[in-house]
Amino acid sequence: MAARGLLLVSILVLSCFAETAFGAENIISFASLKKTLVVSASHKQGLLKAGEDKITVTWGLNQSFPAGTDSAYKTIKVKLCYAPISQVDRAWRKTKDNLAKDKTCQFKIVAKPYSSANQTFEWVIERDVPSATYFVRAYAFDANDHEVGYGQNTNAGKTTNLFEIQAITGRHVSLDIASVCFSAFSVVSLMGFFYAEKRKARKSQQ
């Protein structure tokens, strides 16, 4: 009886250890990542409009790292990230060192298989991107989908090469509302048309 109790307790304790061990393994710290990628973003000068303007992102391995640095790299995910000025007083955009909890980079630009050659992607800023100041960051992921390296178009303090995006403006919103109204109108009129046709058919049958 006592032996069985002891066994149960040991299993419980062991599974707790296993839990924390796995938990710890899953925490990937941004500070632990090496900045092995060179990332640049080009765009027109001034305010960029969501849904209209483009950002051309180029990324590649920084050649000054030793050969084999990228041997575990499987995919690259390029993201649009909030600059510090647009994170102030906004907990939902906060930077956390634990990447699973980090809210800095909320918009995916592109994901591609890793290649040691430079890659370029032209992105039309998506329509749901809010007005804010941003930078671009690329993460390298390994086969387990864990971050293993990164690069960004700004410096460590996130003060250089930032750009400002303006959300879809009121004009666009009213256009969107108009188009929703028009589609609702066409569905209603289509239904009305069918109803009228049915009634006509029924009438002619009688």
The tally of CA atoms less than 13 A away on the side-chain side of residue 161 is 18
Instruction: Convert the chain into a string of H (helix), E (strand) and C (coil).
Output: CHHHHHHHHHHHHHHHHHHHHHHHHHCCEHHHCEECEEEEEECCCCCEECCCCEEEEEEEECCCCCCCCCCCCCEEEEEEEECHHHCCCCHHHCCCCECCCCCCCCEEEEEEECCCCCEEEEEECCCCCCCEEEEEEEEEECCCCCEEEEEECCCCCCCCCCEEEECCCHHHHHHHHHHHHHHHHHHHHHHHHHHHHHHHHHHHHC
Nearer to ligand NAG, 63 or 144 (CB): 63
CB 71 within 8 A of CB 142: no
**Which residues from 30-69 bind ligand NAG, rule CB under 6 A?**
38, 60, 62-64
Nearer to ligand NAG, 39 or 125 (CB): 39
Q: Which of 117, 144, 203, 205 binds ligand NAG (CB under 6 A)?
A: 117
Q: Which of 20, 26, 56, 118 binds ligand NAG (CB under 6 A)?
A: 118
Nearer to ligand NAG, 132 or 151 (CB): 151
Counting residues that bind ligand NAG (by CB under 6 A) gives 7
Sequence-distant (≥ 6) Cβ neighbours of residue 110 within 8 angstroms: 57, 77, 78, 121, 123
Minimum Å gap between C-beta 157 and ligand NAG is 15
Site string for ligand NAG, 62-101 (x = CB under 6 A): xxx-------------------------------------
Minimum Å gap between C-beta 13 and ligand NAG is 44
Minimum Å gap between C-beta 152 and ligand NAG is 10
Nearer to ligand NAG, 87 or 151 (CB): 151
Minimum Å gap between C-beta 32 and ligand NAG is 15
Nearer to ligand NAG, 118 or 183 (CB): 118
Q: Per rule CB under 6 A, is residue 149 in the interface with ligand NAG?
A: no
Residues that bind ligand NAG (CB under 6 A): 38, 60, 62-64, 117-118
